[in-house]
């Protein structure tokens, strides 16, 4: 009798856990922060606060940071936590590399309206692209679409929907389902998940040059995911291996990271005339 009750209790706990995972799974994917901690002016960079609108009417916010004599524009899709104010280190690096930077917050992040969803983040990236093309009159070949972590999936979707000059993916997973299956190997997460963020699938349809950046010490996104993305990417493609953690690998690797990006950009992006 005791054994039966133990089975009932364990089964009930599993059912409740699975139900909570299904209903509240967006809380495991998005970690938005509404408060901007600083802006590029804090690191001595001139910038413009940008407001633009998505196709479904959501108002988004971002920053445009110009670089004198820029050789291109980097459209940066950040990761799943915080907001654009947590990416000043990246903005500074891109600026040192001689690039204009356009970084935006997804819906529900920072000063952007709405709540984040998978389809919503894709629409947000598309609106950022349209802003550069239509408002800034930037040609597609001058745009480097870049994404880190979750932003890599968004960037891949954008690069297969349009044709930028290049695509850079940092610390990115093959798909949300692959990551979830690794975290919860005893649960049918592939059936339960409402999210896909299938980076590998999108990447297979990208035709521009691709740089995959991943740390062999990444404790969140396995290095094998970076290698798999490199395998499915079409030529021309490059792989840049870093050291350091998921969130700090690009800083830990320092010179290697910047030189790797610079070499890739120099090879595939033609300077503005």
Supply the residues annotated as catalytic.
149, 218, 246
Please answer whether residues 180 and 190 qualify as being in contact, where contact means their C-beta atoms are separated by less than 8 angstroms.
Answer: yes
Planar angle of CA 114, 105, 28, nearest 5 degrees: 70
Rounded distance, CA 216 to CA 253, Å? Answer: 11
Is beta strand 31-32 parallel, antiparallel or unpaired with respect to 81-82? Answer: parallel
Cβ atoms < 10 Å from Cβ of 229: 24
Rounded distance, CA 264 to CA 21, Å? Answer: 40
């Amino acid at each position: 009798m005791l054994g039966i009750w133990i089975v009932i209790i364990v089964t009930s706990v599993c059912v409740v856990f699975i139900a909570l995972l299904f209903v509240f799974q967006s809380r495991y994917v998005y970690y938005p922060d509404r408060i901007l901690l600083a802006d590029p002016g804090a690191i001595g960079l001139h910038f413009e606060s940008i407001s633009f609108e998505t196709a479904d009417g959501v108002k988004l916010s971002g920053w445009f940071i110009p670089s004198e004599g820029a050789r291109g524009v980097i459209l940066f899709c950040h990761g799943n936590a915080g907001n654009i104010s947590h990416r000043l280190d990246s903005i500074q690096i891109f600026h040192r590399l001689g690039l204009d930077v356009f970084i935006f917050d997804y819906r529900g992040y920072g000063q952007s309206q709405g709540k984040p969803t998978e389809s919503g983040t894709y629409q947000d990236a598309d609106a950022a692209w349209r802003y550069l093309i239509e408002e800034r009159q930037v040609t597609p070949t001058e745009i480097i679409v870049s994404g880190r972590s979750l932003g890599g999936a968004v960037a891949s979707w954008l690069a297969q929907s349009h044709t930028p000059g290049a695509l850079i993916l940092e610390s990115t997973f093959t798909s949300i389902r692959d990551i979830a299956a690794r975290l919860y190997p005893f649960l049918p997460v592939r059936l339960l998940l409402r999210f896909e963020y299938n980076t590998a699938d999108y990447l297979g349809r990208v035709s521009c040059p691709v740089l995959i950046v991943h740390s062999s010490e990444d404790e969140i996104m396995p290095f094998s995911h970076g290698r798999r993305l490199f395998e499915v990417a079409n030529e021309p493609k490059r792989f840049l291996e870093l050291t350091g953690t998921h969130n700090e690998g690009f800083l830990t690797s320092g010179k290697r990271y910047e030189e790797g990006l610079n070499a890739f950009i120099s090879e595939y992006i033609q300077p503005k005339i």
